[in-house]
Amino acid sequence: MSTSRPGVGFAAADRFTADIAAAATNNSALKPGYVLVGDETFLYERCRKAVLKAFVPEDLRDFCLSELDLTEHSIFEILDRARTPSLMAPFQVVFVRNLKQLYTRGAKKDEFAEINRYFASPNPQALILFIADHLRIPADPRRMDMEDKNRFERLRETLGDHCGIVELARVEDSDAMRWVAATAQEQGTKMDPDAVRELVDALGSDMMLIASELEKLLLFSYGRGRITLGDVETMVLSAKQRSLYELTDAISAKDRPRALALLHGLLNSSEAGEEAAIGHLYMLARTFRQMLVILEKNVRDSRAIWQALWQGFRMPPFAADDLIRQARRYKSRRDLSRALRLIARADLELRSSPPDKRLVLERLIYDLASEPKPFTPAYISPQLTFEG
């Protein structure tokens, strides 16, 4: 896919990739370490590919690339690896996953002292990249969760003096749309504006999904040089999402016959048939979690829903009013929690390779669209006595 630069949402990742490219070609200054902060996987992959392209030749990959996890290796082992020159490669790249392990259970004074010692005299032929994907940075950093703000501040205090901090924030809808249009254009394809908007809206600005679905659309439209709204509705998840919201509408209305008919329609229209069962369950669970948040935060109109649901966890705009109405059909948090438990149980059953996946889904939809049975305590006879 393209690496075009459509807007400010990509700015931090673009600056990082430019610095990496410059360091590889012009021997410009490179920090000995970087912290990639945020759970935006699409931008992380852009950064990772830039590093591999600049410093990890394919034929030397086994000798100059280390991918280590702090749940399996101590920071002492990892820094020792970075200090040790390779006899087979001129430069070392070390990716360090699960950085959150350094910030849990204790002060970790020895660990941070070792980090300070290493960066006081780093190996100039090594680059360490810490991955802090346990933090979530929204498109507007001012709306960052307080816990994530505190974690981010702790990262700056402990690693900010030694490492470059690269913020991989979620991408704004407008930036995602610019990226889609620019990427299609670079592939020699014009994408209609309403098609661009539908693609981004349907996938909730999830850049990994958007990139994947855009690649399919480019293949689908190959030779025509144009992607239309109809192409997006035919090929992308929006049509399936609309069917899914129709299904949850029938479930929340306790209309079992309609819910089962819609389930069969989903399965029959899916290319993978019942093999897509796990994907359908994932979308059901996500939708019921959205309804749970809507109910808990007492959301009553679509204007408030964007404040209640964070970016990356929102539904497409066309579904907002429908989902609010569906959520309000449930009397309490307990009813929605019951639905999530039923979905989790079905998920476990599907992953156990049942003989008939369709039957598992049918039973789930039947249970979800049924009124929960009232709890009746077991009757104990007043004449019943216990010995001893």
What digits encode the pLDDT tens for the residues 55-96? 999 888 888 999 999 999 999 999 999 998 888 888 999 999
Amino acid symbol at 36: L
Look at 269 and 373; give whichever has higher pLDDT.
Answer: 373
Most confident of 135-139, 240-244, 268-272, 310-314: 135-139
- Architecture of the domain delimited by 173-235: Orthogonal Bundle (1.10)
- CATH T-level assignment (fold) for domain 8-167: Rossmann fold (3.40.50)
Please name the residue ranges forming H helices in 203-236: 207-220, 229-235
Q: Are 167 and 38 in contact (CB under 8 A)?
A: yes
Contact present, 5 and 99 (Cβ < 8 Å): no
For residue 58, count other CB atoms closer than 10 A to its CB.
7
Q: What is the pTM of this model?
A: 0.62
- Percent of the chain at pLDDT above 70? 89
Give the chain's radius of gyration (CA, Å): 25
> What was the pLDDT predicted at 383?
47
On the 0-12 / 13-18 / 19+ scale of CB atoms within 10 A, 380 is exposed
Write the pLDDT tens digit of every residue in 304-314.
877 788 756 77
Q: Which residues pair with 166 in a beta bridge?
A: 36
What is the Cα–Cα distance from 267 to 6, expressed in whole angstroms?
37
pLDDT, tens digit, 9 for 90 and up, residues 107-166: 788 999 999 999 999 999 999 999 998 888 888 777 788 888 999 999 999 999 999 999
- Model confidence at 173: pLDDT above 70: yes
pLDDT given for residue 3 in this prediction: 42
**375 or 281, which is more confident:** 281
pLDDT band at 386 (very low <50, low <70, confident <90, very high): very low
Per DSSP, helices labelled H in 27-58 are 41-55
CATH number of 237-368: 1.20.272.10
Cite the residue boundaries of each domain of the chain with CATH code 1.10.8.60. 173-235
Distance CA 284, CA 192 (A): 30
Going by DSSP bridges, is the β-strand pair 190-191/126-132 parallel, antiparallel, or unpaired? unpaired
Residue 30 near residue 19, CB atoms below 8 Å: yes
Residue range(s) occupied by CATH 1.20.272.10 in the chain: 237-368
Domain with CATH 3.40.50.300 in the chain: 8-167
Most confident of 120-134, 236-250, 290-304, 342-356: 120-134
